Amino acid sequence: MKPLTIGSRTFTWGERTYVMGILNITPDSFSGDGLLPPAPLSPLPPSLQEMGGEGRVRGADQARDFLASGADILDVGGESTRPGSQPVDAEEEMRRVIPVIREIAAEFPDALISIDTCKAAVAEAALKAGASLVNDVWALRADPGLAGVAMRYNAPVILMHNRSQPANVQVRERLGSAYIGAEYQNLIADVKRELMDSVAIARAAGIPDERIILDPGIGFGKTVEQNLELINRLDEIRILGYPVLLGPSRKSFIGYTLDLPPDQRVEGTAAAVAVGILRGADVVRVHDVAAMARVARMTDALVRRKV
């Protein structure tokens, strides 16, 4: 695989594991780390209201902490993708994320920012504000204009496999939401085929292969058992010839396996990250950046002989 260059940064795949830190600019993140409260905690001064308010301040603080802890990419999202979450329109999503992206880009001009969205309008506004990558949980299938936006801005795209269906969601108060009854003829073959369908969309828009990253979509339209199998067979996704991003962090398959709520899943996440790296993950998308950056470094020392 060819290295990926974004600005002054080059990602040499297979050399080491890269860490993506999650910034949820939402009030309803499944993991409890959303940076927007359900309602304002207190009146904000007009200057903060105009510039994104509390989300902007908290987002910048978390970005600062993530970068100091070893994050290579900051993934900023303004719409929760947890099973059963309520969608938001493009205007609300932009209101949440654009001030945060501007703030981070101004304070950390060398930081690599990814916009986590499936909407072309949001992606374009984010790329103008300082983002450099597009992370689409619907792999260019939700908005036909998104591939063209990424192409125009020369932005790499992360294409995630997704078979989410609200009717297949099971909710437990302590453990959160999980998918049940997701049907596959052949789990790995189906995921590979559908990822390559999205690769074809990207190619048709003119996005070169070296600017495509694949994500098997852990937690999206898969049962607990299917998520476990997919991580353990991640090498079969990587043989498609693209770098692979793995996002197991705090997800319900860990909670259901260990019988633990989201705020107690750091060890389960660490196990999934370590096995994922062993199976070929190039990027890990995580909430607990400091801990998982250490897990990645240690696993690289074992697997890639990189210290």
Summarised one tens digit per residue, pLDDT across range 238-266 is: 999 999 999 999 999 999 999 999 999 99
In this prediction, residue 127 has a pLDDT band, given cuts at 50, 70 and 90, of very high
- In angstroms, the CA 18 to CA 30 distance is 24
Please state the domain extents for the chain: 4-303
Q: Which of 119, 251, 265, 279 is catalytic?
A: 251
Taking phi first (over 0 means left), then psi (-120 to 50 degrees means alpha), and beta for anything else, what does residue 195 get?
Answer: alpha
Question: Tell me, which fold does domain 4-303 have in CATH?
Answer: TIM Barrel (3.20.20)
Q: How high is the pLDDT of residue 49?
A: 45
Beta bridge partners of 11: 4
Q: How high is the pLDDT of residue 27?
A: 81
Q: How high is the pLDDT of residue 42?
A: 41
Q: Of 48 and 78, which is predicted with more confidence? A: 78
CB of 113 within 8 A of CB of 133? Answer: yes
In this prediction, residue 51 has a pLDDT band, given cuts at 50, 70 and 90, of very low
Closest CA to 80 of 125, 43, 30: 30
Please give the torsion angle defined by the CA atoms of residues 10, 160, 20 and 135, in that order, rounded to the nearest 10 degrees: 70
Establish whether 192 is a catalytic residue.
no
Summarised one tens digit per residue, pLDDT across range 131-142 is: 999 999 999 999
Residue 173 pLDDT exceeds 60:
no
Q: How high is the pLDDT of residue 182?
A: 72
Q: Which of 119, 222, 238, 285 is catalytic?
A: 285
Q: How high is the pLDDT of residue 48?
A: 38
Q: How high is the pLDDT of residue 86?
A: 74
**Running DSSP on this structure, what letter comes out for residue 202?**
H
Summarised one tens digit per residue, pLDDT across range 184-223 is: 999 999 999 999 999 999 999 999 999 999 999 999 989 9
Residue 170 pLDDT exceeds 80:
no
In this prediction, residue 57 has a pLDDT band, given cuts at 50, 70 and 90, of confident
- Cα-based distances in Å from 154 to 85, 141, 147, 212: 31, 19, 10, 11
Residue 175 pLDDT exceeds 70:
no
pTM recorded for the entire structure: 0.89
- In angstroms, the CA 206 to CA 252 distance is 36
Residue 166 pLDDT exceeds 70:
no
Summarised one tens digit per residue, pLDDT across range 267-285 is: 999 999 999 999 999 999 9
Residues 6 or more apart in contact with residue 182 via CB below 8 angstroms: 163, 165, 168, 221, 222, 223, 226
Establish whether 285 is a catalytic residue.
yes
Summarised one tens digit per residue, pLDDT across range 63-102 is: 999 999 999 999 999 998 766 667 899 999 999 999 999 9
- In angstroms, the CA 232 to CA 246 distance is 12
Residue 165 pLDDT exceeds 80:
no
Q: How high is the pLDDT of residue 34?
A: 44
The token pair that represents 237 in the structure block: 């996704």
Summarised one tens digit per residue, pLDDT across range 17-45 is: 999 999 999 885 444 444 444 444 344 34
Q: How many residues does the chain have?
A: 307
